[in-house]
Amino acid sequence: MRTPVRPIDLASDRDPGFQAEVARASGQLLQSCYQCGNCTAGCVYTPDYDYPVHQVMRLVQLGLRERALGCRSLWLCATCQACTTRCPNDIDVARVMDVLRHMARQAGFAPEPGVKTFTDGFLASVAKHGRVFEAGLAAAFALKGGRPMQDASLGLPMLLRGKLSLSPHEPEGHGKAEVAAIFARFAKQGAGPGSSGEARRGGAAEDKK
Ligand code: SF4
Ligand code: SF4
């Protein structure tokens, strides 16, 4: 369900360089999108998005930076790539969504705070241990969400069945150092865990070369 937002004013809202910026970062020929809607037709999250994925593409084409980066859809996307496989113009739409989410994060947008909290926790766990420590992530997410007993009833059965460990299993050999190097590289770009800080906006804000 789309949140009511102010009408778009193309004269003042457009950022003429935005499409080129997204095209550079994603490596996709964004202007070849002709709004057929095939991507949206295959996206299982369309009913939950504020902007269906083909409209996200259109926001980018129009240079509506704030509207695109502030939309909830970026945070609900599951990166399933159904949109990518359905695009008749070979646009990797899922990659565009990834790039936009990355840009939104850097710009401090977080219209879905729960998703951001989980993502931050996941990244922090991988950065610290070299791979995710599920029990620690679940506990941190429940505590930060203010619901410490959330999913507690699932924890014990999972522990008893060996699906959860109470201690992290870090990668052997150079694995942990290699993962740390990836995080260090992204930290230089201001995109590491928690680098976006607190959300400064909430809710829907309003070339393959
Ligand atoms: S990758 Fe995201 S936008 Fe594309 S179909 Fe899957 S959930 Fe929808
Ligand atoms: S399927 Fe491709 S061309 Fe059609 S709307 Fe989506 S991105 Fe645009």
The rounded mean pLDDT for the chain is 86
Instruction: Look at the alpha carbons of 54, 123, 192, 182 in this order and tell me if their dihedral is positive or negative.
Output: negative
Name every protein residue with a CB atom under 6 angstroms from any ligand 2 atom. Answer: 33-39, 54, 57, 86-89, 91, 93
Residues 6+ apart with CB under 8 A from 160: none
The values of phi and psi at residue 201, to 5°, are: -140, 150
Mutate to test the pocket of ligand 1, among 81, 91, 95 (most ligand atoms within 8 A of CB): 81
Which run of H or E residues covers position 180? helix 175-188
pLDDT at 138: 86
User: Which tens digits make up the pLDDT trace of 76-132?
Assistant: 999 999 999 999 999 999 999 999 999 998 899 988 888 888 888 999 999 999 999
What number is the average pLDDT over the span 3-21?
88
Residues 6+ apart with CB under 8 A from 95: 26, 27, 28, 84
The one-character DSSP state at 108 is: T
Task: Give the integer Cα–Cα distance in Å for 12 and 112.
Answer: 26
